[in-house]
Amino acid sequence: MVARILPAADPAALAEAVAALRAGKLVAMPTETVYGLAADATNARAVARIYEAKGRPRFNPVIVHIASLEAARHVAIFTAEAERLAAAFWPGPLTLVLPLSTASSIADLTTAGLPSVAVRLPWHPAARALLSAFGRPLAAPSANRSGHVSATTAAHVAADLGDAVALILDAGPAPLGLESTIVGLAGEAPALLRPGAIARAEIEAALGQRLADAGTDDGAPLAPGMLRSHYAPAARVRLEATDVRPGEALLAFGPPPASAANAVAVVNLSQVGDLLEAAANLFAALRTLDGKTETIAVMPIPETGIGEAINDRLRRAAAPRDA
Ligand code: TXA
Ligand code: MG
C-alpha cells in the first residue's frame, strides 16, 4: 500500500496527524532540517514502531522534539551552557544532549535507556503546529531507512517508509536540507556530537569556548549517525574527485571539470559554490544520482562553516558498508 501524503498547512490534515499520534501511530513531520518520523515520545509501543519502520538498532536513541523551552525543562536538566545555547539558537536546528530529568515521562526506549536525552525545538511552522496541537514531546529521527540518505521531501519519505507511516505531512522540500547540529552537554566538556545546520564556529561563539570532538566509535555510538557508514546511497561514493572516470556520475560543486561531459549524470550542488545552497540540495542529489551509476564522484567541498557538516555526511556516505 502507498503512503498517505497530505498538505501540512491543511487543518484537517493536522487534526488527522494528531489523532494518529494519540493512537500510537507514526507521522512524518516536516522540519527545517529534514523530515522526521514522529511518534509520541512518552509511548514506548509507539516509539518501538519507529525502530521497526526504520530498521534502526535499538541502541541508537531518538531526538525528542518539544514545542517550547518550558516543555524542554520537563524533559531535561538545563545546565548554564544549555541555557545559553537555547537562548541563542532555539527555535532552530540545534539539538542539545542533556541529563534526562527524573521527572520526565519520556519512554526508556526513546533514550535507549541512557541517562541523557537529546532535545530539539524546531522553527519550521509545520513542526511547531504539530507539536503544539499534540501537546506532548515527539520522538523523531530522520524519516529514512536506517543508514540511508535522509529524507528532505515527502516523496523521499514515501519511497523509504511506505505505509509504515500512517500519514506524511507535506510542506515541500526541507529548507535547510541537513540535520541539526548536536551538542553534548551531559559529559565533561561541551562536545560537537554531530556537525549540522549550525556551524561549529557559531556555537563556539555563543558558548564562549571551543567544542570537543566526539569522533567515530562504531562499538558504542554514544553519538549520532556517528556510525561510520551512514547517510549512504546504494552507489559507491568517491570523494575529492577532480575528474570523472568512465561510468561515473558527478556530484559537482561550483564549475565542473571538462571531463564532466563524460559523466552518466551530473547534479550540481551549487553552481556558484554557495555552501548553504549545497546543503539544501545534498540528500536529494544523492538520491537522484543513485541508481544511475555504480559510483558517484564528488568534487571537493570546503570544510568551512556548514561545509564541515556536508563533508561529514559525504565521508559517511563513502565509508565501507560492512560497519
Ligand atoms: O535535524 C534533525 O536532527 C532531524 C530532525 C527530524 O529533527 N533528526 C535527526 O534524528 O537527524 P536522527 O535520529 O536521524 O539523528 C539523531 C542522532 C542519532 O543518531 C542519535 O544517536 C543521537 O542523535 N542521539 C539521540 N539521543 C542521544 C543521546 N542521549 N546521546 C547522544 N546522542 C544521541
Ligand atoms: Mg538520521
Closest ligand relative to 152 C-alpha = 1
User: Would you say the CB of residue 192 lies under 6 angstroms from ligand 1?
Assistant: no
145 CA to centre of ligand 2 in angstroms = 9
Grid cell of 152 as nine digits: 528532505
pLDDT of residue 222: 52
Q: How far is CA 19 from CA 6, 48, 185, in A?
A: 14, 18, 34
Closest ligand relative to 60 C-alpha = 1
In this structure, the residue with its CA closest to atom 3 of ligand 1 is 180
User: Would you say the CB of residue 36 lies under 6 angstroms from ligand 1?
Assistant: yes
pLDDT of residue 58: 87
pLDDT of residue 215: 62
Instruction: State how far Cα 142 lies from the chain centre.
Output: 5
Angstrom distance (rounded) from CA 260 to CA 248: 9
Comparing CA positions, the residue from 146, 179, 144 lying closest to residue 158 is 144
How crowded is residue 317: how many other Cβ atoms within 10 Å of its Cβ?
25
* Residue 254, CA atoms < 13 Å, CB-side half-sphere: 9
User: Would you say the CB of residue 95 lies under 6 angstroms from ligand 1?
Assistant: yes
154 CA to centre of ligand 2 in angstroms = 16
Q: What is the largest CA-CA distance in the chain?
A: 61
Comparing CA positions, the residue from 35, 313, 13 lying closest to residue 175 is 35
100 CA to centre of ligand 1 in angstroms = 15
pLDDT of residue 322: 60
pLDDT of residue 144: 96
pLDDT of residue 229: 75
Grid cell of 79 as nine digits: 545546565
In this structure, the residue with its CA closest to atom 10 of ligand 1 is 141
HEC string of 168-225 equals EEECCCCCCCCCCEEEECCCCCCEEEECCCCCHHHHHHHHCCCCEECCCCCCCCCCCC
Total residues found in the chain within this entry: 323
Rounded average pLDDT per 10-residue block, the chain, 323 residues: 89 98 98 98 97 92 98 96 98 98 95 96 98 98 95 97 96 98 94 97 97 64 58 94 97 97 97 98 96 96 97 94 60
Query: Which parts of the chain are beta strand (E)?
Result: 5-7, 27-29, 36-40, 64-65, 94-99, 116-120, 138-139, 167-170, 181-184, 191-194, 212-213, 236-238, 249-252, 266-268, 295-298
118 CA to centre of ligand 1 in angstroms = 7
